[in-house]
A and B are shown apart, each in its own frame.
Chain A
């Protein structure tokens, strides 16, 4: 390799890296990779029905979930803020489930990045979490999202045919479940007239 080629290669790599950092700035940076996430199909029939999953074993992709709004909480059993916000997230779920219109079209799941099924189960029981939680024992989800900090919330709409549109992705929890729900509904654009 000539001196000139070497310098060009290094420059290109540096620009690529700078580009990666630049691309990492927008809030919806996970839009490109969220579709790659695979989760284990739950044994629980109720959870499969909740997510509209037809198959009973193996894995499913996020985009295979039934049409509607999907809110994903990226959490970690070991994360103090996830623990702190757990009751608030439960309240958020309760608001969805107690509204007949939202219950049909809005789903909430949690993914415990780097957590084993045992650790996720501890979190579920400790905080009485009623919505579906998935483990990520092998860090596959975490490595797909790379630099995600927990808790992190993702909002997306699903068309039920494998298509999706991410409309929200942010680190940190929320203090007002009703306000957060209202914001998710607004950003999703699925209820033009509002729901309340």
Chain B
């Protein structure tokens, strides 16, 4: 690398040292800054209309949660987040926590999934207040569910992705979002409305 290139990179690093997401003061000093990441780093394995692969994962609140237990009962919104104690992720589920009524009005349950282990998720989500929806650990076999859903990144974290599955177990909405940004709640709600129309 010549010196001019090195200089340009230095300037670039200075310019890029801006976050593109909002950060909550509640996590001040606890968040590991990952910097801008490759927006999507996985290959899709599922498409809308497919049957959602079943899974059973341990929940932070104890016990396990099985996707097929909601069959014929509730629509399921799955929110995969990349990793605990990172930006964006830390300011995503707390937003869903104040819209339980929206999910309920669409006969939907929300399942939050991360590849972190239970103790890590316990400590992290404890900062978010009391969450009304289950938080599930896809830690072991590491990221197996994320992999089956085609959202396991090459570094072992998950994509920031939303899957909406209807009461028949059919995937009706997929959004593998830019990992650096939060999926707009507007789109999730619009997809839920479409589900019931």
Contact = CB atoms under 8 A, between A and B. Distances in A.
B144 to A, nearest CB: 28
B24 A17 contact: no
Interface stretch (A118-126, A155-163, A185-193): A118-126
B26 interface: yes
Interface residues of A, number: 39
B128 A114 contact: no
B20 A78 contact: no
B16 interface: no
B22 A119 contact: no
B38 interface: no
A59 interface: no
B129 interface: yes
Given A1-B3, A84-B129, A149 B28 contact: yes
B3 A6 contact: yes
B123 interface: no
B129 A78 contact: no
A64 interface: no
Given A6-B3, A6-B7, A82 B186 contact: no
A171 B28 contact: yes
Interface stretch (B72-80, B94-102, B170-178): B94-102
A119 B99 CA distance: 10
Contact of A116 (B25, B92, B94, B185): B185
B23 A150 contact: yes
Nearest to B128: A80
A17 to B, nearest CB: 6
B95 to A, nearest CB: 3
B42 interface: no
Interface of A: 1, 3, 6, 9-10, 13, 16-17, 76-84, 113-116, 118-119, 122-123, 126, 139, 142-143, 146-152, 171-173
A82 B23 CA distance: 11
Interface of B: 3-4, 6-7, 10-11, 14, 18-26, 28, 91-92, 94-95, 97-99, 102, 127-129, 182, 184-186, 189
A151 B24 CA distance: 7
Given A116-B186, A118-B186, A78 B7 contact: no
B12 to A, nearest CB: 11
B25 A119 contact: no
Contacts of A172: 25
Contacts of A122: 98-99, 102, 185
A142 B189 CA distance: 24
Contacts of B21: 114, 139, 142
24 contacts: A3-B3, A13-B10, A13-B11, A13-B14, A17-B14, A78-B22, A78-B92, A78-B94, A78-B95, A80-B128, A83-B97, A114-B21, A116-B185, A118-B185, A118-B189, A119-B95, A119-B185, A122-B99, A122-B102, A123-B98, A126-B98, A149-B23, A150-B23, A150-B24
